[in-house]
Amino acid sequence: MRVPKLLIRIVFLLLALVVCEFGCSRSGSGLTDNFKTDALVRTAGTPQGAVIKGKIDDLTIHPETVELYGHFDILLSSGTSGQFLTNYQAEVTKALRSKGASMVGYEPPAEGLDAKEGIFRYLYTWSGGTGLVRVFWGTDITNDCQMVVVFSESRK
């Protein structure tokens, strides 16, 4: 039995509409561009002459979510890791605000930014959904800093 051409066209049109509903019609906040490179880390480390080694390990984009993981070694020529982390927090806050995000939560590190290790996170909303920036860090005996950045965004 032969399938009418009109039926095939209708099926393809419906498939195109479904794909567009889950991908094309929803755009992100634009923050992925800020976090998919080491630019924020480099800017935060500039006052201390930091050398940044690291990379974005994984960027996953789904129709409703974006997730990004980055690992960085920050070699400081002056100052403390706490000063670097303070600068990094300022860069994250600036990036969120520059894209119109509203910060709805901040979880500070339990022992402060001068601790040998810790976690802090920002929760934010934007017109199309919600997001999270979580930072894990640890320092070594030379006061250099190792940092993992997790960026996650969900669309409505």
pTM over 0.85: no
Buried b (16+ CB within 10 A) or exposed e, 52-91: bebebeeeeeeeeebbbbbebebebeebebbbbbebbbeb
Q: Would you state the pLDDT for residue 25?
A: 39
* 91 SS3 class: helix
Instruction: For the chain, 156 residues long, give each residue's pLDDT as a single digit of tens.
Output: 555 554 444 444 333 333 333 344 345 677 778 788 889 999 999 999 999 987 777 778 888 888 999 999 999 999 999 999 999 999 999 999 998 999 999 999 999 999 999 999 999 998 889 999 999 999 987 778 999 999 999 987
Contact 133, 35 (CB under 8 A): yes
Our CA angle for 37, 87, 150, nearest 5°, is 45
